[in-house]
Structure 1
Amino acid sequence: MKELLSMFLTFARIGAFTFGGGYAMLPILQREVVEKKGWCTDDELTDMYAIGQCTPGVIAVNVATYIGNKKRGPVGAIFTTLGVIFPSIVIITVIASCLTHFAEYAVVQHAFAGIRIAVCALVTKTIYTLVKKNVIDAATLVIFILTFCSVALLGVSPVAAVLVCGLAGALLHGGTKKGV
């Protein structure tokens, strides 16, 4: 029970301090779950994040569920999922009850503008970290560039891009064993 409580509290802390959703969560997850707790490796976290992007639901919740399930099975998944959503439920309830009274104030609008900029910085840092760790050769660089251009410029579905890239990665590197 002590470990389950630790999992709940860890993900509650992550949920409480991750503004901007799943994309902004990755650096905090990496620090807490990989570096501090050792519940998974960088590669496992990246895989969970990729799977979380192409499964239904919120990425942050999906990743928390995967990590909890890896660590303690279905019970662990429940505790990490509840942990990551609990702060949001509390915060959203408080904000919703107060925001209608204060949303028109300039200071509140400026605060949200500042938060959006911080989220952009966190997402940019996450992208940098992911590219640095996963673009490992010319083939993965080409896949990255083509995927970015197709999603960002041509409006290709992220789910389709992930599936096509998974197939491309399997075809290009399927015969090699990496880290096994």
Structure 2
Amino acid sequence: MSMKGQWKTLFQLFWTFFKIAPVTFGGGFAMIPLIEKEVVEKRKWMKSEEVTDVFALSQSVPGAVAINSATFIGHRIAGMKGAMAAMIGVSLPTFLIVLLLGILYFFIQDNPKIESAFISIRASIVAIIAYAAIKIGKTAVVDKTTFCILIVGIPVLFFLHPVMVILAGAFAGIVTISIKRKLGYDVKLDRKDIGNEENDFEPFMGAGI
């Protein structure tokens, strides 16, 4: 890639995450649908399955999910420079907004209209996160085994740290695949690999659960 092309890619990474960050009041998880739309559907930098893996990895390491996700995606697309561009892009709007709100805090803290607006925003975030879960579920849940892991993982989240749940899921996947291969079963690692033998399970897949 030419130097001009590299700078263009770096700017696109910066601008993509710079646009996403200010409109996601719910934090990292609320950014998931927008990141997937920009990175997968619009830019076609990565596949949906790859982005899902990035989100899982971002949740399992220290730091904010949004910054981790942007950094991993940027590194995947343009190396260390891409990671820096994406990280700055996703962090800068938040820094500027927090700085502005800090200045205006004493003027708006008791305003009932502002308080009402944030109550509504918090409620809408729940819907955004639920939508993100459905989108990820369509690519992450590929067979009956992954569906069972999902069902077990939801209640477990109320008692264990998310990192522990992710590690437990990884361990369960390794063990399950090893057992299936020893028994001679075909291992399905992607939705496109699912054959007719899983058609009876497809209604669950279409629902994203």
Same fold (TM over 0.5): yes
| Residue of structure 2 equivalent to 1:169 | 173
| Residue of structure 2 equivalent to 1:83 | 89
| Residue of structure 1 equivalent to 2:189 | 178
2:142 is the alignment partner of 1:131: no
How many angstroms apart in 2 are the aligned matches of 1:102 and 1:178? 51
Residue from 68, 71, 75 that aligns with 1:62: 68
1:138 shift after superposition: 2.0
Q: Which moved more, 1:122-131 or 1:63-72?
A: 122-131
| Residue of structure 2 equivalent to 1:158 | 162
How many angstroms apart in 1 are the aligned matches of 2:53 and 2:138? 15
Residue from 148, 158, 161 that aligns with 1:142: 148
Deviations 1:7-50 (A, max 9, x none): 11111001122221111011000100111111111011000000
How many angstroms apart in 1 are the aligned matches of 2:27 and 2:78? 24
1:140 shift after superposition: 1.4
TM-score by length of 1: 0.93
1:100 shift after superposition: 2.2
How many angstroms apart in 2 are the aligned matches of 1:22 and 1:143? 23
How many angstroms apart in 1 are the aligned matches of 2:20 and 2:108? 27
How many angstroms apart in 1 are the aligned matches of 2:139 and 2:102? 39
| Letter of the structure 1 residue corresponding to residue 10 of structure 2 | L
Q: 1:121 to 1:177 in 2, by over 3 A?
A: closer
Residue from 19, 22, 29 that aligns with 1:23: 29
| Residue of structure 2 equivalent to 1:110 | 116
| Count of residue pairs brought into register by the alignment | 178
RMSD across aligned C-alpha pairs, in angstroms?
Answer: 1.5
Structure 2 residue runs without a partner (length 5+): 1-6, 182-186, 194-209
How many angstroms apart in 2 are the aligned matches of 1:106 and 1:120? 22
TM-score by length of 2: 0.81
Structure 1 residue runs without a partner (length 5+): none
How many angstroms apart in 2 are the aligned matches of 1:107 and 1:45? 38
Q: Which moved more, 1:167-176 or 1:113-122?
A: 167-176
Identity %: 32
Which secondary structure state, in structure 2, belongs to the residue aligned with residue 156 of structure 1? coil
Q: Does the Cα contact within 8 Å between 2:74 and 2:86 map onto a contact in 1?
A: yes
How many angstroms apart in 1 are the aligned matches of 2:8 and 2:135? 32
1:177 shift after superposition: 6.1
How many angstroms apart in 2 are the aligned matches of 1:117 and 1:137? 32
How many angstroms apart in 1 are the aligned matches of 2:125 and 2:60? 22
1:173 shift after superposition: 2.8
| Letter of the structure 1 residue corresponding to residue 189 of structure 2 | K
